[in-house]
Structure formats: structure tokens, C-alpha cells
């Protein structure tokens, strides 16, 4: 089926929007749209699945356990988050949507 990543953008910008583009055994591909959101204070993602993430619009700042400095993702930047690697989103673009593509390997 043909669909577009930039279509059906969420109208509600008060929270992040998570949409599965593909959900198969072994593989899930997700679009995430952020509007300045960041992880709550003290919250860390710690996932069972490996995740390859790319920012396709906007920008984001990640904090990754074991890294002294923040990981800043500009448009086109991609990053590998193996399962169990604790990370959090410290910032996303405040003025325009940040569109992420997240590929999860199960």
C-alpha cells in the first residue's frame, strides 16, 4: 500500500504522536511526531527491542546512558539504540514538528 510519511499529521500538538507504519513479526516501523515534547524528568526509555532512529524533520537531543555529552540529532541524523540501552529525549524542536522514523527489531 502506498502512503506518505508527511500526510495525516496530528492535529493535537499537545502530545507526541506515535503511529505504526508497519507491524510485522520481527519488524515494526513507527512514525513519531514531536512538538517540543521531551521525556519527563527522571524518565528513561529502557526497551526490549533494538531501535534504529532517524530524524527526518526538525531536531532532537538525546541523553544516552554512558555518554557524557548529549546526542544532538539534526535532520537526516540517524542513531542506533540497542535493546536495554537507557536513553531519554532531552529536547525536540520547539517551533516546528520533529518527525522521527523508528525501526524496531524484535
Residue 4 binds a second copy (CB under 8 A): yes
Residue 24 binding a second copy, by CB under 8 A? yes
- Using CB under 8 A, which of 39, 79, 90, 97 touches a second copy? 79
Does residue number 33 form part of the binding site for a second copy (CB under 8 A)?
Answer: no
77 or 90: whose CB is closer to a second copy? 77
Beta bridge partners of 22: 29
Count other C-beta atoms under 10 Å from residue 49's C-beta: 16
In the numeric block, which cell numbers belong to residue 102?
523508528
**Nearest to a second copy of 5, 97 (CB atom):** 5
Q: Which of 73, 81, 89, 91 binds a second copy (CB under 8 A)?
A: 73
Give the DSSP letter string of 16-62.
-EEEEEEEETTEEEEEEEESS--PPTT--B--SSEEEEEEEES-EEE
**How far apart, in whole angstroms, are the C-alpha atoms of residue 106 and residue 55?**
21
Under the rule (CB under 8 A), what is the footprint of a second copy? 1-7, 21-22, 24, 26-27, 29, 50, 52, 54, 56, 71, 73-80, 101, 103, 105
Amino acid at each position: 500500500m502506498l502512503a506518505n510519511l508527511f500526510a495525516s499529521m496530528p492535529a493535537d500538538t499537545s502530545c507526541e504522536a506515535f503511529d505504526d507504519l508497519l507491524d510485522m513479526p520481527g519488524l515494526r516501523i513507527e512514525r513519531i511526531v514531536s512538538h517540543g515534547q521531551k521525556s519527563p524528568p527522571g524518565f528513561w526509555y529502557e526497551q526490549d527491542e533494538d531501535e534504529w532512529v532517524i530524524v527526518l524533520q526538525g531536531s532532537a537531543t538525546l541523553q544516552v546512558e554512558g555518554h557524557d555529552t548529549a546526542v544532538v540529532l539534526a535532520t537526516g541524523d540517524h542513531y542506533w539504540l540497542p535493546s536495554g540501552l537507557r536513553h531519554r529525549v532531552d529536547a525536540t524542536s520547539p517551533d516546528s514538528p520533529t518527525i522521527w522514523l523508528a525501526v524496531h527489531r524484535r
